Amino acid sequence: MKAKALKRLTRVETLLKDVLDQYRSGEQQVEELLNSAKMSVSKVKQAIFAKVPAATAKKPPAKAEKPGRGRLSTEGRKRISLAAKKRWAAAKRKGINAVTGRRLSKTA
């Protein structure tokens, strides 16, 4: 967050410097106001920079425990098998192939 603030303040400071260079030959009041604004921005920037730690050590990414393979339990496998058998039986009653969804051909 502070890095963004410093970046923005630096941008404001350069913009004020550019505008100040344009008014060097002109009006004294405008030049004084711009100069004071530039000094204020630089003071704020220094105050924020003083609070930012010089070397922020990054934490290494936390390692996840070894992930187990997502294997089905025997109960889960049985449930899936029973559900598939029910779907196939219902499809057979309707005269539809459970896999393809096409009508079953009548053989005589």
CA dihedral 20, 23, 27, 28 (to 10 degrees): 30
Q: Using CA atoms, how far apart are residues 38 and 72, in angstroms rounded to an integer?
A: 67
Average pLDDT over residues 44-51: 78
Tens of pLDDT, residues 74-106: 999 999 999 999 999 999 898 888 888 888 887
Over residues 17-31, mean pLDDT:
76
**Domain segments of the chain: what residues?**
2-51, 74-108
Q: Could you tell me how many residues make up the chain?
A: 108
Tokens 């049985």 -> residue: 78
Distance spanning both ends of the chain, measured CA to CA: 78
